Amino acid sequence: MFQKAVVSSRGGQLDERCIDLITAEKRAIIRESGALELYPRVESADRVGGLDALKTWLEQRQLAFAEEAREYGLDAPRGVALIGIPGTGKSLCAKVAAGMWKLPLLRLDMGAVFGGLVGASEKNIREAMQIAEVIAPCVLWVDEIEKAFAGSTGDSGTSSRVLATFLTWMQEKRAPVFVFATANSIERLPPEFLRKGRFNEVFFLDLPTGQEREQILQVHLERKGITMIRRRFDLSKIARATEGFVGAELEAVVNDAMFPAFMDGKREIETADLVAAAGDMVPLAKSHRERIAQLRELVLSGQARNASRGTVNEEVKVEQVRGERRLDIG
């Protein structure tokens, strides 16, 4: 693609006019792969409420793919794994990383990787990784990776072979492809997947703390065009009413609160509307108590870092009760 850009440029030198040509060429390469998708929209860090430890980690590596970093002796980051229950913002963080680093964001569709013909799946994953290396530097986002690599007794070992191919590539790749993997659970992932050397870090996205819920609520209210939020709303009261809520549920609270206000003469929403909307919802955390306790064990055992400041959510405690784990919220 660079040779084509040089030939098309004036004087045989790369200039700003070659950027559109190179970008178009990259898009064409990605379209030829059925397993890769180029995400045109990325996000900024201010779209994420809380998760300060993760955001700091990403900010510190903002220039890690630049020539100055290589001259300094820094190795390009290899990747991170984000683990947490649905709705905690794992996918959003992948988009934020690409936006923060100003890199292309590729999404690897594992469903498209697994072909029907014998040997097709292994071929598909190799081609996808080769294309990612051509596009590099880039962020390669693999969403809900545990669903792809959980294995199956009826696939003649295809999942295992694809996993082995992917893990070997992650271990040995030299191209600056940053792998951003997300997972909702760990029991379906093989132990070797999270081994050091493949990922720079494994982060656990806990339930948001009270302060983080205030930040998340403010983000979603601002997205609705609402201003002077701290003056108009009692965010601490709303945060107390939303204990155990994840980011996606807090977004739903804001949306649900606007309906009665709209029907009531299109008035501005108030704290009472948000509290009432929260009272009508049952947080996902109640049905995922055991999973959250299991995931938090990764932090307590040193296998993962908490994406938020501190070690555990002050409102959610893991207790040992009669030999069984129990998650108490509140």
Q: What is the DSSP letter of 242?
A: T
* Rounded Cα gap, residues 80 and 61, in angstroms: 12
* Helical residues (DSSP H) of 61-109, grouped into ranges: 67-72, 90-101
pLDDT over 50 at 320, yes or no? no
- Say what the pTM is: 0.82
Task: Give per-residue burial for 159-183: e unless 16+ CB within 10 Å, then b.
Answer: beebbebbbebbeebeebbbbbbbb
What is the reported pLDDT for 24? Answer: 65
For 192-228, write each residue's pLDDT tens digit. 777 777 899 999 999 999 999 999 999 999 999 999 9
Task: Give per-residue burial for 68-91: e unless 16+ CB within 10 Å, then b.
Answer: ebeeeeeebbbbbbbbbbebbbbb
CATH code for the domain defined by 17-204: 3.40.50.300
| 9: its two tokens | 């440029």
Of residues 213, 216, 273, the one with CA closest to residue 92: 216
Is it true that 17-204 and 210-284 share their CATH fold?
no
Q: Which fold has domain 210-284?
A: Helicase, Ruva Protein; domain 3 (1.10.8)
Q: What are the boundaries of each domain within the chain? A: 17-204, 210-284
* CA triple 38-39-44, angle to 5 deg: 145
Look at 49-53, 115-119, 149-153 and tell me which has the smallest mean pLDDT.
Answer: 149-153
